Structure 1
Amino acid sequence: MRHHYWEWPIPTYLFLGGLGGGIFCLAAILSFFVFPGVPMVGEALAWPGFLGICALGLGCVMLIVDLGQPMVFYRAFVKSTSVLAWGARFLTVCAIFGVLWFASYVPWDWFAPIAGFFVPFRGLNLAIAGISGTCIMLYTGIFLSTLKAHAFWATPALPVLFTVSALSTACAAITLSIGWWPAVPTMDTIVTALVCNEILHTVDIILIVVEIVVLLVMVLSFLGAGNKTANKAAHRWVHGSYAPLFWGGMIVGGLALPELLYVFGGHSAASTVVAPVLVLLGGLLLRFMVVLSDDRAPLPGEDRYYNRLADKDDAFVTAWKYGENIF
């Protein structure tokens, strides 16, 4: 492959989609299974939900930007057999019902009739957003793993890795923003936010360990694989041009260091602020490195074709001027 067909909008889209989907998945789990019937939980999670909506909306924008033809973006939703289309649908459903759920918590006086209308449907809206958010997390890895021509992506480990990473980044985003507006700063709301933070703190510790294991197993298995294309990409990760980003940026900075700060940082700023930020940056870096590892075996005659192309500064190429007829 001579160049990357997918540039920065696609890994950004996969990161934001997984982040937004993970936020609504965790919000639904906390509301329905961890604290069922506790109204302060939804109020404390309203602002993280708004951030999830923003992430999903910006992810849609990134997808449309990468399509190159914004006016025909609807085709990404209507092609029934496309994995991309299913992802776009799940993302849209999650965003719409997430907005309806968040709207029921908006405390503005002029908005009260609209918010009151959606209050009875809070549970339904959050359930639909949570289910579609879970599908988005799974989709972000399945989307790449279905592209069999790219050996580094065509592995069942990738959907697992992206799902675990999406949940981890969602934990980080929620812990950074839980209990903000529109939550009313009462004692019950503050205590609920602190308890949720403790739970998510523990969950993220487990998720980071799982992510490290899955990531290392995937990369090191490719390192010893017989597939030359996957082997080449893995070598680039382990001791090639991507090695500083892989070992320093992802393994150490995005996973190991946050894990240590979570475990030994107590309730300090290092544990409650620095570690979640590093987790978010590590999740973004992971998507970029995976998407840019788009090596594939060349088609028959492809290398021969590219090797025979003229250089852009060859004499016969530069001699002709636009609009000039030399015949």
Structure 2
Amino acid sequence: MNWISNYVRPRINSIFSRRETPENLWSKCDNCGTMLFHRELSENLNVCTSCGHHMAISPRARFNALFDGGIFTEVSVPEPVSDPLHFRDQKKYPDRMREARKKTAEHEAMLVGEGEIGRTRIVAAAQDFSFMGGSMGMYVGNAIIAAAERAVQKKCPLVLFSAAGGARMQEGILSLMQMPRTTVAVQMLKEAGLPYIVVLTHPTTGGVTASYAMLGDVHIAEPNALICFAGPRVIEQTIREKLPDGFQRAEYLLDHGMLDRVTPRTKMREELITITRMLMGLPPAVAGDLPAPGKVADAEAPQAAAPEAAKAEDPEPKKAAKAKAAEKKAQDKS
């Protein structure tokens, strides 16, 4: 046995060998091709630090950046029938659902949360495009209705982040029925006099655009987001003409009066705080990133209790009371 060849050399090679870099440490910008470090990209809310391109972001990550201190409570959504049509194409519908849930670690294509932004209570709903293209199925309809009912119950605004490819074909007509259902949910908010703010993200298309995504009191879009019913490729093939540059993008719609604002994702929180407080008749919020409401309450409670505790522990009042009682007793004896 050669001790140097069999033990020493492999040991030295293992110590000085180059370690492989994990694949998830770097992401490539789809627009400019810049390699971005994962922490830097996450801190910038998945917006390219080189060209400002807005990449996809999950609803949970969006809520963590939106709510004060990243604290929010999920609103429960009624569970619909899992496979009402027993639909099957290349795969069964339940199998596609299992794959989507495993891929995104989310139950469905929409997340509903409740919390505070700038000390203003809101209900927020966000679609996840990575979950079967954010398609609008029965669960999404139930989620919007649950969000609207919660907002009416709490008398607070509803903020919805849309990102969808349209209706979910595996649910057929039941998916299309979510268009009137969600329209009724939006009407509930209007009758209660509560603001409904829609943030359109890339992409927002199909039946979603034809229903709840374009019924807001205020419409805000992220830069260069595709917002349409039928896509530009379908329109070009139908009319056999070349469309203008930037057609159906957020900036184009803003210029033609379809949107109120185009706001970068990194400034969206401050924009929503300003708009919600304005529509609710509240004074402007304190500038800057406010701490979580729970932390503020915990910090203020000991300060409020401190004077009472000091009075209880102060021995001087007790001594004065005893001296006064002894003096009165001596006077009675005399």
Sort the TM-score into its range (normalised by shorter chain). under 0.3
**Greater RCO (Cα-Cα under 8 Å, separation 6 or more):** 1
Provide the TM-score with structure 1 as the length reference: 0.25
Richer in helix (by share) = 1
Task: Please say which structure displays the higher CA radius of gyration.
Answer: 2
